[in-house]
């Protein structure tokens, strides 16, 4: 490699690292007006379809109505100036940074017309697009797995004021990692050691969607996990409404039908899993359909329907696409707690959560993920809630 080329690469990396320092200001300036607390149930205990994964407390910092703000709309420049000056309330009586979350992406999520999957969201502003483009370019420079092609469906989730229960993310058509960065709610707030900071914990075993385990003598694939959120400490399952409170979802082989089926248990059953086999690198199970497994591979591909996703039998995957799991990671954890640092992890594969005892929920966190066109058809998880006795087994304890 020539010295000129080496200098160009070094320069690109420096520019990408410098971009990380601009994230707080640009996130606040570009996205905060669209940050909100979504309420679908009692006291925000039901959060959309993600039942209590994001847990906003009752004393969350709420965005005031326009009437309460004296009919004066918030100017994004005023918001940034107040944040820089460490002022918590704007002149119109609005909080500088209210609590809530928002998800934004380069392409339209759940596009109803497959030929338009590359279309940008109609609500995306130029400022938002510029930030997402710059973020994508920085990841391409800093992380070898992210390229120009496989990152075209980049999405972000911005969160402030919420705790998070232990959970795994849904796998949406790409095996790319998630990326995570957080920063203080005020520019000059310096979190010192032993003070309230912020921390997300990863449990490195079991690996969901990429391994086979033994559960009460049965060979299963750990598929999804959600711990019990506050005020919902018991596992509940309804044949129409699905699971509530917390659950462990696995896939097993049914000897009667000779097909794969769902196995849903209380989250406490997680401790009963034993290591068996790991799937070979670059493959993962994205769901279950008609007794077969939807299989994703590392090679980038855009899916506009679940019909396009490869299917494989349970035993074919177990016998031909796995290696022995020695279980060394069963007690290992990883902590992400350094402000301003770009972390990489697979939220769809590993259980992760906010460590409540040492975290300040005021922290602003930015999650980066990739969704290669969210299928418009039947979602893999939706089939669980409509499952018959032959396609789902429920264990109550």
Question: What's residue 228's pLDDT?
Answer: 78
How far, in Å, CA of 110 to CA of 123, rounded?
Answer: 14
Neighbours of 229 (CB within 10 A): 23
Strand partners, 97: none
Is residue 102 packed enough to be buried (19+ CB in 10 Å), middle (13-18) or exposed (0-12)? middle
SS3 147: coil
How far, in Å, CA of 300 to CA of 311, rounded?
Answer: 17
Mean pLDDT per 10-residue segment, the chain (397 residues): 52 85 95 83 41 72 90 93 90 94 90 78 95 96 90 95 89 91 80 75 95 96 86 65 78 94 93 95 92 92 84 96 81 89 95 90 93 60 50 86
How far, in Å, CA of 127 to CA of 338, rounded?
Answer: 27
Q: Where are the alpha helices (DSSP H) in 117-230?
A: 126-142
Residue 149 to residues 119, 137, 322: CA-CA distances in angstroms? 15, 12, 28
The two structure tokens encoding residue 335: 């902590």
DSSP 43: G
Domain boundaries, the chain: 3-187+338-345+356-370, 211-330+378-394
Name the one residue in this structure whose structure tokens are 């070094």.
Answer: 10
SS3 1: coil
How far, in Å, CA of 247 to CA of 267, rounded?
Answer: 4
How far, in Å, CA of 142 to CA of 17, rounded?
Answer: 8
**Which of 115, 191, 181, 107 lies closest to 151, judged by CA?**
107
Q: Interhelix angle for 126-142 vs 3-31, to 10°?
A: 140
How far, in Å, CA of 279 to CA of 69, rounded?
Answer: 55
- Give the tens place of pLDDT for each residue, 327-353: 766 678 999 999 899 999 999 999 999
What phi, psi does 89 have (nearest 5°)?
-130, 135
How far, in Å, CA of 314 to CA of 217, rounded?
Answer: 16
Name the one residue in this structure whose structure tokens are 């299928």.
Answer: 375
Is residue 223 packed enough to be buried (19+ CB in 10 Å), middle (13-18) or exposed (0-12)? buried
Question: What's residue 144's pLDDT?
Answer: 78
Considering the entire predicted model, what is its pTM? 0.89
Is residue 107 packed enough to be buried (19+ CB in 10 Å), middle (13-18) or exposed (0-12)? buried
Question: What's residue 136's pLDDT?
Answer: 96
Q: In what order do the strands lie in the sheet with 283-289?
A: 283-289, 292-297, 310-312
How far, in Å, CA of 293 to CA of 180, rounded?
Answer: 29
């Amino acid at each position: 490699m020539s010295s000129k080329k080496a200098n160009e690469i070094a320069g690109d990396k420096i520019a990408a690292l410098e971009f990380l320092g601009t994230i707080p200001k640009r996130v606040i300036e570009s996205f905060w007006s669209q940050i909100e607390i979504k309420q679908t149930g009692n006291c925000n205990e039901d959060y959309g379809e993600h039942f209590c994964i994001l847990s906003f407390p009752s004393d969350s910092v709420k965005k005031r109505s326009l009437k309460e703000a004296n009919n004066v709309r918030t100017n994004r420049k005023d918001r940034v100036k107040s944040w820089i000056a460490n002022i918590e309330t704007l002149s119109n009586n609005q909080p500088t940074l209210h609590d809530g979350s928002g998800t934004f992406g380069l392409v339209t999520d759940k596009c109803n017309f497959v030929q338009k999957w590359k279309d940008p969201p109609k609500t995306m502003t130029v400022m938002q697009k510029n930030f997402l483009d710059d973020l994508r370019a920085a990841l391409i420079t800093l992380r070898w797995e992210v390229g120009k092609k496989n990152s075209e469906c980049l999405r972000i989730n911005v969160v402030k004021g919420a705790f998070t229960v232990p959970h795994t993310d849904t796998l949406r058509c790409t095996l790319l990692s998630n990326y995570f960065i957080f920063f203080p709610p005020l520019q000059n707030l310096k979190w010192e050691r032993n003070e309230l900071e912020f921390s997300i914990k990863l449990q490195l075993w079991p690996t969901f969607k990429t391994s086979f385990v033994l559960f009460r003598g049965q060979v299963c694939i750990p598929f999804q996990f959600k711990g019990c959120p506050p005020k919902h400490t018991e596992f509940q399952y309804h044949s129409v409404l699905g699971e509530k409170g917390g659950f462990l979802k696995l896939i097993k082989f049914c000897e009667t039908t000779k097909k794969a089926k769902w196995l849903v248990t209380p989250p406490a059953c997680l401790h009963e899993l034993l290591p068996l086999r790991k799937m070979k690198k670059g493959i993962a199970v994205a769901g279950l359909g008609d007794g077969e497994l939807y299989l994703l591979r590392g090679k980038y591909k855009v899916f506009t329907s679940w019909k396009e996703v490869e299917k494989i039998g349970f035993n074919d995957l177990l016998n031909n696409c796995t290696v022995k799991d020695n279980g060394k990671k069963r007690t290992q954890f990883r902590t992400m707690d350094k402000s301003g640092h770009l972390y990489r992890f697979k939220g769809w594969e590993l259980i992760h959560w906010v460590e409540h005892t040492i975290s300040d929920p005021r922290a602003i966190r930015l999650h980066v993920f990739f969704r290669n066109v969210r299928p418009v058809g039947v979602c893999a998880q939706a089939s669980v809630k409509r499952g018959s006795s032959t396609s789902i087994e429920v264990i109550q304890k």
